[in-house]
Amino acid sequence: MKLAQTPVDKICFEQHQIFVKRDDLLHPEFSGNKARKFAYFLANDFPGITKLVGYGSPQANSLYSMSALAKLKGWQLDFYVDHIAGYLRANPLGNYQAALVNGANIIDLSLRADRSKRDTLSYIEQSVMPVGPKALFVPEGGRCHYAEYGVRQLACEIIDWKQQQELSELVVFLPSGTGTTALYLSKSFKQLDASIRVCCCAVVGGEDYLKQQFTQLETDVSLHPQILDTHKRYHFGKLYPEFYQIWQQLKDTGIEFELLYDPLGWMVLSQHLAEFGSQQVLYLHQGGLLGNQSMLPRYQRKYGVSN
């Protein structure tokens, strides 16, 4: 099971040479940077724990990765979702289907009589964690201090690679959701090799939301990554023709990217490339390709495009 040490490829993007760290080649069960975020859970024992509790979207990469983690550890996974769309329930696919195959217990809160209009996190905090058997709770998207351990390993791989390439400076760019990966990468580089800096863009929520997320994990703002402006506001998970277009353009490089985070990531990178001057850029491919199984049919239904 490949959970670290991924290769770096070189591609040509809009007449620029960009390096791509191929974390999409990590084991598919821990794709979408979950191998890095969950490395701590894989490397350590948790005596007394019998259950993993998580929440998020029924199509989240983290649902599938948590189901794989629970299976490996012999734990039960209880994953809470706000609701499951009728179409998905009737036609399971992508992360949702794969998690069901792994034995995940996916709990649809919209069907719970005791919900009392509470959001998913409040429901878990008030009605799940205090009463069940000893369980390990992982916040949405793996946003927790445990993630630092594995993301630091990723930072060390990038530092080794940069030394082998004899680069004097490097910009590492990645699209952010919870910001966990970008934050712990930035913190690691500031502590281990200050010639590498991290730039990211906010894909979920805006810049202020992302800054808040960073601060919840690390109060020292000098360790935070730089957020590049997205110019236009896009809603997370919505379909945009320009996203599909850049995704296709990237496919011609021979590397498939995912359709939720990467299109905006590459668009923002394209808008800011000139600012990096002679500095080399390394784009972090964070996997998540299983999600394309549900995103591509959505694009096809909406725009009639073929892949």
Ligand X SMILES: Cc1ncc(COP(=O)(O)O)c(C=O)c1O
CA distances from 233 to 176, 184, 218, 265, 267 (A): 14, 25, 26, 13, 12
Contacting range for ligand X; rule: CB under 6 A; set: 101-109, 159-167, 176-184, 218-226? 176-184
Beta strands 16-22 and 51-55 are unpaired
Of 32 and 94, nearer to ligand X (C-beta) is 32
> Interface with ligand X includes 179 (CB under 6 A)?
yes
> Interface with ligand X includes 180 (CB under 6 A)?
yes
> Interface with ligand X includes 286 (CB under 6 A)?
yes
Among 28, 56, 139, 141, binds ligand X (CB under 6 A): 141
Q: Nearest approach, Cβ of 133 to ligand X (angstroms)?
A: 27
- How far is residue 199's CA from residue 189's CA, in Å, rounded to a whole number? 12
Q: Nearest approach, Cβ of 259 to ligand X (angstroms)?
A: 9
Of 182 and 295, nearer to ligand X (C-beta) is 182
> Interface with ligand X includes 59 (CB under 6 A)?
no
Q: Phi, psi at residue 16, to the nearest 5°?
A: -115, 145
- How far is residue 119's CA from residue 81's CA, in Å, rounded to a whole number? 10
Of 196 and 263, nearer to ligand X (C-beta) is 263
Of 115 and 234, nearer to ligand X (C-beta) is 234
Q: How many CB atoms lie within 10 A of CB 269?
A: 24
> Interface with ligand X includes 94 (CB under 6 A)?
no
- How far is residue 118's CA from residue 159's CA, in Å, rounded to a whole number? 44
> Interface with ligand X includes 32 (CB under 6 A)?
yes
User: Of 144, 152, 146, 149, which is closest to residue 191 (Cα–Cα)?
Assistant: 152
Q: Nearest approach, Cβ of 248 to ligand X (angstroms)?
A: 18
Angle at which helix 262-272 crosses helix 241-251, to 10 degrees, equals 80
- 44 neighbors 70 (Cβ within 8 angstroms): no
What x-and-dash track marks residues 235-264 binding ligand X by CB under 6 A?
-----------------------x--x---
Contacting range for ligand X; rule: CB under 6 A; set: 71-79, 94-102, 169-177, 214-222? 169-177
Of 141 and 263, nearer to ligand X (C-beta) is 141
User: Of 154, 250, 143, 264, which is closest to residue 200 (Cα–Cα)?
Assistant: 264
Of 269 and 306, nearer to ligand X (C-beta) is 269
Of 102 and 292, nearer to ligand X (C-beta) is 292
Of 50 and 253, nearer to ligand X (C-beta) is 253
> Interface with ligand X includes 292 (CB under 6 A)?
no
> Interface with ligand X includes 181 (CB under 6 A)?
yes
> Interface with ligand X includes 95 (CB under 6 A)?
no
> Interface with ligand X includes 188 (CB under 6 A)?
no
CA distances from 40 to 35, 151, 216 (A): 9, 10, 20
201 token code pair: 């863009």
Name beta bridge partners: 11: 18
> Interface with ligand X includes 225 (CB under 6 A)?
no
User: Of 198, 196, 197, 141, which is closest to residue 175 (Cα–Cα)?
Assistant: 198
Among 6, 57, 61, 153, binds ligand X (CB under 6 A): 61
Kindly determine how many residues on this chain lie close enough to bind ligand X according to the rule CB under 6 A.
17
Write out the DSSP string of 123-158: HIIIIITTTSSSEEEE-GGG-STTHHHHHHHHHHHH
Binding residues for ligand X, rule: CB under 6 A, are 32-33, 61, 141, 175-182, 258, 261, 286-288
